[in-house]
Chains A and B, each alone.
Chain A
Amino acid sequence: MSAGFALRMAWRQTRGAWRHFVGFGACVALGVAALVAVGTLAVNLDGALTREARTLLGGDVELRAARPLGAEAAAALERLRRAGARTTALRELVGMARSPAGRTLPVEVKAVDPAYPLYGRVQTRPAAPLAGLLAPRDGADGAVVEPGLLDRLGLRPGDRLALGAATLAITGVLVREPDRPASLVSLGPRVLVSAETLARTGLVQPGSRVRYRALVRLPEGRAAHAAGEDLARAVADPGVRVTTFDAAQPGLRRFFGQLATYLGLVGLASLLVGGIGIAASVTTLVRRQLATVAVLKVLGADGRTVLATYLLQTQALGVLASLAGAALGAAAQPLLVRALAPLAPVALEARLDAWTLVRGVALGALTALLCALLPLLAVRAVPPSLVLRRDVEAAGWRARRPWLAALPVAAGLAALAVWQAGSPGLGAIFVGAALAALGLLALCARGLAALGRRAPRVRGVALRQGLAGLARPGGHAARVVTALGLAVMLLVAVAQLEAALARQVALEQNRSAPSFFFVDVQGDQLPALRRLLAAASGGTAPAATPVVRARLAALDGVPVTRELIARRRAEGLDRMWYLTREYVLTWAAEPPASNVVTRGRWWTAAEAAARPRVSLEEAAARGLGVGVGGTLTFDVQGVPVTAEVASLRRVDWQSLSPNFFAILSPGALDGAPATWVVTARVPAAAEAGLQDRVSAAFPNVTALPVREVLERAAALLAQVAFAVRWMAAFSVATGLVVVAGALAATRWERLYESVILRTLGATRGTVARAFAVEYACLGAAAGAGGTLLAAALAGIVLRLVLELPWTLEPATLALGVVAPTGVALAVGFLATFRLLGEKPLPVLRRE
């Protein structure tokens, strides 16, 4: 083999036929751009979360509990202070803000002390020290509020605002809160007040839902991890969670990690579509180069030299296109950052990451190599005797497909997919799904070709010719249907998921979902609230459920301690959350309507009267590792309540009624400090008025408007969907490149055919109609196959990931077939309309 010759030939061949490689390059570049864009985003997100970890947590270490931190914690914090640490105490809860005009709004209240914040800076308008803004003035307590509150209540800085029993003066607007808790959906705008102000509101009552936090900023050089362990040892109560900054926000990290992974898979899909384009483009190249290959062999080039020539050529172009793609992905970064900025809890940068760029280029170059290899191997088998035939290209020579070589190539592509997906499991799912999708789409293409071969039975020249065109040699039908079909699958699946989620939100609104959850209702307020609500909702009785807050003290008699949790973790159990979380308990004589008892049975009145029993939700029972017959001991405000597990329940969490992990038998919680959750349904138009009236009459009661919370969740989903669609756009663009390439590859046959038809007396209109029939069939097949796959994909995601029912979305599905048909017609005509104007004689002479 002559390496120098291969290199020179590769350069000369490219120099002369660069047009042929535009499609090839675009396929590689778009795939790499998608991967680099999403990879860079993931790195930036992770970097920002790591960099801002202290600020997001608000300190190096955090203590967090659902009840006031006890003496042990206070002593431990005092020791840290003596060692040079700074600490601050926070309380967070949801309350109702009321404007002087009587308009109300649920708000997320945060009470801070003067040491806050320990890290970062609270930005306000006007810019002033926070302590000053929160100080009392003119008989009211200072408060800093988010702009959303002003908009919603029609207030301006300087106006008054009622919160519980306190009157607040709005002294500033909150621009940026460094440790804004990163729950993705908030229940209302933030209101910052001082600890004294919170006391004056009267919102902190037994049983009300308050989060108590203590933050620690360690002196320079002191390790957060060690301090965290010391605190955990000092505070025995496992209900007090100790978190160090580097382990903070696991939910947030998981959310963005998963988002990046899913976006990465969508990016990988565009490289997959690109791979089809690469293989198609190289197949066409080999067909066009048959004469050159044969001549080179006649002149004495061996098979390996010829293969090396074309491999060098495609590989060099693959690397160049990958570099261009990486540049495109980097350039697209600011756009993607802007798309995701509303979701992100931290400011995102569009900083480039060297490893991501290198990986993107490597993935692109390797994909180009593997996808090009299979069709290129054919050049070794091209017989030199082709030069003796009159028309080399029409000689009908076809390489035997190197199926044996296909295996390592497929394995290589699968390995690349696993590499990009980041885990073998996810990679395997992607590869499996891709194989299934490609298989089905290839089947669609075959069906189309079969239809084409039967075409002569159809009447009408244009229709017959168009259908016959589907069976055209060169395999353009397979290329168009697979590439376009994959793009359709992605877009339609996203649209279907969106529609299903939107329908879910709407469905809950339409059925018997309540308009409001009124929480923290005290027992003595219940009769009056019931009357008010009954009148408002037109006589239907509102539902009231008692709730008692408690923590789990013992499991089957074994105290829940930090040691138990550590032991369980060592045994490989996760979901420690079930051991440490605060439980909202209730009691009931009958099982709730939307619950199904799956193990054991519900208690009789006699059983309930005998001793306390509890019914557990299935997943919670699994997480705790208890079954029917076991016992749970709850610590209810210091009083232990031990109950036997009588049954397990399956809970429909989608039903918007109050749902509970643990329901106790009637009488078990007698004497415990209970508050009530009251649900009510009123017409949409009456919602605002009712909320205002309830808040005016019961300032401590928080009204959670279901519609708004659902709308906020829907807005979050819309943003995620936007990001996914943004990524899917790369696949669509790649798909269009492949379609245009596949149709351009059949240009000569098409030209010849159209000229023959016109020589026989067909008008240009007839020829155009024949083309249209062919393009429309290709688009419709891609649309139908892609939409079918999308329905399956959406069904799987809904069922297995989101645990929602799959519903038929006829409009989305119909659009999934119609739109690709239109796209195929448009791209087809753009790629071939010039053929219609060619004069027949020169074409026939050339032939």
Chain B
Amino acid sequence: MGVVMIRVRDLTLRLPSGGRTLTVLDGVTLDVEDAEVCAVTGPSGSGKSTLLGLIAGLDRPSAGTIEVAGVALTPLGEDALARFRRDTLGFVFQAFHLIPTLTAAENVAVPLELAGARDARPRARALLDEVGLADRAHHYPVQLSGGEQQRVAIARALALRPRVLLADEPTGNLDSATGGGVIELLLGLNRERGSTLLLVTHDEALAGKADRVLRLRDGRLLDANA
């Protein structure tokens, strides 16, 4: 048994919805080991993305605890959480979420700059080179195809060599051929760097490439040890 990188215990999130309380996550408990590639699947509304968001400290659970890379998230304030994400996490989104006013290179440089890296620009260039977009460095997001935007997002997520990489439906907005390319890139780079990858998807083929698959339904984990 390796080192546990992500430790989630009895995670519950309830949200008010139309005057009632909606339980989005219901007592989820899981461990993800260091350098493990773990997929979370489930139908729409099963709470996959919410689980990922809570692990990233983007929201607070109603109950339960989360520990990532040895850091307990629940006691941290907003700004401490932001620094934690900067230092520990990389994030890839379904909708890419590149900043539209920044070029590809600048988008990749943002986390480096936030960390105070002096060589942010050359490192951003090198990362773009790694994802095969060296010649697109000065293009704005609107000038890039969907696949290219997701590659930039992957470069950005890996910029600070995070110990944990979180990906939320990374191929959801791409056609299957492009999506396949993006996944190969993501998995390849992750393997090179040896980081932990938690991947949310409802694409069974994609999930099949993971070391382990977790299935969520109605906010509950079906078989955590499958």
A residues adjacent to B (C-beta < 8 A): 2, 4-5, 8-9, 12-13, 15-17, 291-292, 294-305, 383-385, 387-388, 390
> Is B18 located at the chain interface by the 8 A CB criterion?
no
Q: Which residues of B contact A301 (CB under 8 A)?
A: 82, 86, 114
Which B-chain residue is minimally distant from A291 (CB atoms)? Answer: B97
Q: Kindly identify, within residues 54 to 84 of chain B, every residue whose CB is under 8 Å from any CB belonging to chain A.
A: 56, 58-59, 78-79, 82-83
* A388, B79: Cβ atoms closer than 8 Å: no
**B58 adjacent to A16 (CB under 8 Å):** no
List B174-213 residues whose CB lies under 8 Å from chain A.
none
B95 within 8 A of A: yes
Smallest CB-CB separation from B78: which chain A residue? A303
**Segment at the A interface, from B1-9, B105-113, B215-223:** B105-113
Question: Which of the segments B30-38, B45-53, B124-132 contacts the partner chain?
Answer: B45-53
The contact sample of 16 A-B pairs, CB cut-off 8 A, is: A12-B106, A16-B101, A16-B102, A17-B101, A292-B101, A294-B97, A295-B98, A298-B97, A300-B82, A300-B86, A301-B82, A301-B86, A302-B79, A304-B79, A305-B114, A385-B53
CB distance from B18 to the nearest CB of A (A): 13
A299-B111 contact given A17-B101, A387-B97, CB 8 Å threshold: yes
Closest to A306 in B: B82
> Residue among A8, A294, A305, A385 with the most chain B CB within 10 A?
A385
Q: How many whole Å from A294's CB to the nearest CB in chain B?
A: 8
Closest partner residue, chain A, to B49 (CB atom): A388
A12-B102, A16-B102, A300-B82 are contacts. A2–B168 as well, Cβ < 8 Å? no
Chain A contacts for B79, CB-based, 8 A? 302-304
Residues of the A chain whose Cβ atoms lie less than 8 Å from the Cβ of B56? 298, 384
Q: How far is the CB of A270 from chain B (nearest CB, A)?
A: 31
Which listed residue (A9, A16, A300, A302) contacts B111, Cβ 8 A? A300
Contact between chains at A5 and B58 (CB < 8 Å): no
B95 / chain A contacts, CB cutoff of 8 Å: 387, 390
How distant is the Cα of A305 from the Cα of B114 in the complex, in angstroms?
Answer: 9
Q: Which residues of B are in contact with A by a Cβ distance under 8 Å?
A: 49-50, 52-53, 56, 58-59, 78-79, 82-83, 85-87, 91, 93, 95, 97-102, 106, 110-111, 113-116, 140, 156, 168
B113 in complex: contacting residue of A8, A16, A302, A304, CB < 8 Å: A8
Q: Which of A292, A297, A298 has the most CB of B within 10 A?
A: A298
A301 to B112 Cα, complex, angstroms = 11
B contact residues around A390 at 8 Å (CB): 95
Cβ–Cβ contact B113 & A4, under 8 A:
yes
Q: Which of B82, B93, B113, B116 contacts A387 (CB under 8 A)?
A: B93
Instruction: Out of A17, A292, A298, name the residue touching B58 (CB < 8 Å).
Output: A298
Closest to B91 in A: A298
| Set of chain B residues within 8 Å of A5, measured between Cβ atoms | 113-114
List, in ascending order, chain A residues with CB within 8 A of B52's CB: 388
Q: Are A299 and B114 in contact (CB under 8 A)?
A: yes
Query: Is B168 touching A388 in the complex (CB atoms < 8 A)?
Result: yes
* A13/B101 in contact, CB under 8 A: yes
Do B86 and A299 touch across chains, with their CB atoms under 8 A apart?
Answer: yes
CB proximity of A187 to chain B, nearest CB, Å: 68
C-alpha gap A299/B83 in the complex (Å): 9
With both beta carbons as reference points, the residue of chain B lying nearest to A297 in the complex is identified as: B82
With a cutoff of 8 Å between Cβ atoms, the chain B residues found around residue A294 in the complex are 97
- What chain B residues lie within 8 Å of A15 (beta carbons)? 101
CB distance from A8 to the nearest CB of B (A): 7
A562 to B135, CA, bound (A): 91
Nearest B-chain residue to A301, judged by Cβ:
B114
Please determine whether B101 and A2 come into contact, CB atoms closer than 8 angstroms.
Answer: no
Q: Closest A-chain residue to B93, C-beta based? A: A387
Contact status A2-B106, CB under 8 Å: no
Tell which of A8, A304, A305, A387 has the most Cβ of chain B within 10 Å.
A387
Q: Which residue of B lies closest to A15 (CB)?
A: B101
Cβ-closest chain A residue relative to B80: A302
Chain A residue nearest to B101 in the complex (CB): A16
Contacts of B87 in A (CB 8 A): 300
Query: Per a CB cutoff under 8 Å, which of B50, B110, B116, B168 touches A299?
Result: B110
Contacts of A300 in B (CB 8 A): 82-83, 85-87, 111, 114-115
Option from B98, B114, B140 in Cβ contact (under 8 Å) with A2: B114
Known: A299-B86, A300-B86, A303-B78. A387 touches B114 (CB 8 A): no
- B residues near A2, Cβ cutoff 8 Å: 113-114, 116
Residues of B within 8 A of A4 (CB): 113
**Interchain CB contact under 8 A, B58 and A299:** no
Chain B residue contacts of A16, Cβ below 8 A: 100-102, 140
Interface-centre pick from A2, A304, A305, A384 (highest chain B CB count, 10 A): A384
B-chain residues with CB within 8 Å of residue A298 when the two chains form the complex: 56, 58, 85, 91, 97
Q: B109's closest neighbor in chain A, by CB?
A: A8
Q: A300-B86, A300-B111 are in contact. List 5 more A-B contacts (CB 8 A).
A: A2-B114, A294-B97, A295-B97, A299-B114, A388-B93
Chain B residue, CB-CB nearest to A13: B101
Distance of A295 Cα from B168 Cα, bound (Å): 14
**In the bound complex, CA of A4 to CA of B140 (Å):** 22
A439–B83 CA distance with the chains assembled, in angstroms: 43
- In the complex, A385 Cα to B78 Cα: how many Å? 12
Q: How far is the CB of B121 from chain A (nearest CB, A)?
A: 11
- Return chain A residues, CB-CB under 8 Å to B102: 12, 16
Separation of A683 and B106 alpha carbons in the complex (Å): 84
B82 touches A383 (CB 8 A): no
Between B82, B93, B102, B110, the greatest number of chain A beta carbons within 10 A of the residue's beta carbon is seen for B82
Q: How far is the CA of A383 from the CA of B82 in the complex (A)?
A: 11
A308 to chain B, nearest CB (A): 12
Contact assessment for A388 and B111 in the assembled complex, using a CB-CB cutoff below 8 Å? no
CA distance A303 to B83 in the complex (A): 11
**Cα of A17 to Cα of B101 in the assembled complex, Å:** 7
Q: Are B99 and A292 in contact (CB under 8 A)?
A: yes
Chain A residue numbers with a CB within 8 Å of B115 are 300
CA distance A657 to B91 in the complex (A): 88
- Residues of the B chain whose Cβ atoms lie less than 8 Å from the Cβ of A303: 78-79, 82
**Contacts A12-B102, A305-B114 given: A383-B58 contact, CB under 8 Å?**
yes
Can you list the 3 inter-chain pairs with the closest CB atoms, starting with the nearest? Answer: A300-B86, A16-B101, A302-B79
Contacts of B113 in A (CB 8 A): 2, 4-5, 8
Question: Once the chains are docked, how many angstroms separate the CA of A298 from the CA of B93?
Answer: 11
Please, how many angstroms separate the alpha-carbon atoms of A69 and B91 in the complex?
96
**Taking the nearest CB of chain B, how far is it from the CB of A668, in angstroms?**
88
**Chain A's nearest CB lies how many Å from the CB of B140?**
7
Partner of B59, one of A296, A299, A304, A385: A385
| Interfacial chain B residues near A8, Cβ < 8 Å | 113
Q: How far is the CA of A183 from the CA of B58 in the complex (A)?
A: 74
A303 to chain B minimum Cβ distance, whole angstroms, is 6
Q: A residues within 8 A CB of B140? A: 16
Chain A residues closer than 8 Å to B110, beta-carbon distance: 9, 296, 299
Docked complex Cα distance between A13 and B102 (Å): 7
CA distance A197 to B92 in the complex (A): 101
Closest to B56 in A: A298
Determine which residue in B99, B116, B140 has the highest number of CB atoms from chain A within 10 A of its CB, and name it: B99
Give every chain A residue within 8 A of B49 (Cβ-Cβ).
388
Point out the residues of chain A lying under 8 angstroms from B83, CB to CB. Answer: 300, 302
Contact of B101 among A12, A299, A305, A385 (CB under 8 A): A12
* Bound Cα distance from A151 to B222, whole angstroms: 105
B50: chain A residues at CB < 8 Å are: 388
CA distance A297 to B91 in the complex (A): 11
A728 to B168, CA, bound (A): 55
In the complex, what residues of B have CB within 8 A of residue A302's CB?
78-79, 82-83
Give the docked Cα–Cα distance between A4 and B121 (Å): 14
* Shortest distance from the beta carbon of B71 to any chain A beta carbon, whole Å: 14
Measured in the bound complex, the distance between the Cα atoms of B100 and A600 in whole Å is 83
